[in-house]
Structure 1
Amino acid sequence: MIKPTPNPPEHEATSPYESLDSKKLHEAAERALDHHFGTAPDKPSKSRKGALFIVAPDLHTETLLANASEDLLSISAIAADLADGVEGSRRSVALALSRMADGVHLLVERALDHIDSSTPEEHRAKA
């Protein structure tokens, strides 16, 4: 009778890491899993508490405000364009969004003006 499985090893305490190749394969697999799941020792995992996007912590206030200003202009333009394509209450909502973005844009521009008018020492203290 032909046996479909091989005989068990003679020693029960046979380790899968007895050969050098097997140990190297295991270490490589561990490194690959650590890298894939972000638990590599050189990159400690940080809990961002659900935040999908983060802002680089070393950006200057002026850079952040300038980008916010541009984004607000884009939001306003998109909402105004949308208002042209719809009617009734949807148009009112789109126009309200456009006007709100315009108002916040003015606030950001005022903040940028304050940064531009401050002395270099004050500017460094705010950044």
Structure 2
Amino acid sequence: MFKPTPNPPETDSVSPYESLDSRKLHDAAERALDHYLNPTAAIMAAPYQASTMFLVNPETDTESLLVNASESLASASIMLGDVAGLVDGPIRRTLLGIAQVVMLGELAVNRALDRVEVTD
């Protein structure tokens, strides 16, 4: 039987670690791939440290914090509704969806505020 293509030439298998330079190149390639394809490794390597630029006074009572959070969420809900009224289409639906999530957060904060026992 006639074979239309010739057999491929036999080659020796070449290890990527034959020389020191190829090992360095391989290590660099692995780091680059890990950096772009597995970014969580770099994120998980460093412990999380909260920014100290904006601090909440640790002596502030829970009720005051909840009241402030409730007012902030109510303001965000109003702002999202106002902006949603200015646009149409998918952007409007996205803004209204975000507004709904903010309102649900506001409801949860208000419920927590109802359960706080005031200490005088």
Q: TM-score of the superposition, structure 1-length normalised?
A: 0.52
User: After superposition, what is the alpha-carbon deviation per residue over 1:14-48, rounded to whole angstroms, capped at 9, x for unaligned?
Assistant: xxxxxxxxxxxxxxxxxxxxxxxxxxxxxxxxxx7
Per the TM alignment, residue 49 of structure 1 is displaced from its structure 2 partner at its CA by 5.0
Number of aligned positions between the proteins: 72
- What secondary structure sits across from 2:85 in the alignment? helix
Q: Give the corresponding residue for 1:77.
A: 78
Partner of 1:15: none
Unaligned regions of 5+ residues in structure 1, if any?
Answer: 1-47
1:51 paired residue number: 52
Aligned-partner Cα distance in 1 for 2:70–2:104? 11
Q: Percent of aligned pairs with the same residue?
A: 36
Q: Give 4+ residue runs of structure 1 displaced > 3 Å after superposition.
A: 48-51
What CA deviation, in whole Å up to 9, does each residue of 1:58-117 have, x standing for no partner?
Answer: 0000000000000000000000001100011110111011111110000001001111xx
Q: Distance in 1 between matches of 2:106 and 2:51?
A: 28
Stretches of structure 2 that go unaligned for 5 or more consecutive residues are: 1-48
Within 2, Cα distance between the matches of 1:49 and 1:77? Answer: 29
Q: Which amino acid aligns with 1:105?
A: E
- Partner residue, 2:26: none
Alignment of 1:54-65 (within 5 A): 54-65=55-66
Cα 1:113–1:49 shift into 2, 3 Å: closer
Residue 51 of structure 1: CA displacement? 3.3
Counterpart amino acid of residue 106 in structure 1: L
CA distance in 1, matches of 2:105, 2:51: 26
Pairing 1:27-106 to 2, within 5 Å after superposition: 49-106=50-107
Q: Secondary structure at the match of 2:111?
A: helix
Alignment of 1:103-122 (within 5 A): 103-115=104-116, 118=117
In structure 2, the residue corresponding to 1:50 is in which secondary structure?
coil
Give the structure 2 partner of residue 27 of structure 1: none
